[in-house]
Every structure is written in structure tokens, then in C-alpha cells.
Amino acid sequence: MSVLSLINAALQKHGWLIARLPSDEEGRAAQLVELLVEDNTDGRARRHILHPWLWYERPVRERFEGQDCCLTVEGPIYRSQDGTGYPLGSQLRTEFG
């Protein structure tokens, strides 16, 4: 399983799907996803599930200051019984660096 597939699997648990990711940014994107879905003591992870993804742009930008990262995420996704999913329409592109 590729790194991108592993990242997609982690995000799908939270109802999100990566739509596009430059192949040379997989490692940094994995770190970004870990930051977005981890259960922080200040509760950001819970708000991440309930509010638009843009809510996290500022804290994530501060965490990744000085690093280039470009990640396109679509969500939430509809999951079918066979495990596949597709985005329901909202999309956000965030660029860091």
C-alpha cells in the first residue's frame, strides 16, 4: 500500500479524502495529516470534525512554518458498503510555504 493510500485511509476515518498530492510531498503530507487528526489537548481534533477544514489553516501553518506543503482535500465523503467513497462536494486547497 502506498503512502498516499495510507494517508487517505487515515483521513477517511474522519470523513475526508485526499484528492491530489504531489508525489515528492508524501512525507510532509503524512505529518500534516497526523497533526490534523491527532487528539490535541486543546480539542482541535474534535472541532476539525465538526467545522470546515479551513478552521485549522492558522494553527497548521504555524506548525509547518518554513516547510513547503501543498495538499488538496475534499470532504466530507460518502462511504458505501464495499468501502469505497466519493466526495460530497466541498473542497479546500491549502498551500503552505
Residues 6+ apart with CB under 8 A from 81: none
Residues 40 and 19: their CA atoms lie apart, in Å, by 25
* Statement: residue 51 has pLDDT above 50: no
pLDDT recorded at residue 2: 61
- Residue 7 confidence class, pLDDT cut points 50, 70, 90: low
- Residue 49 confidence class, pLDDT cut points 50, 70, 90: very low
For residue 11 the three cell numbers come to 483521513
Which of 35, 46, 33 shows the shortest CA–CA distance to 72? Answer: 33
What residue type is assigned to position 52 of the chain?
Answer: P
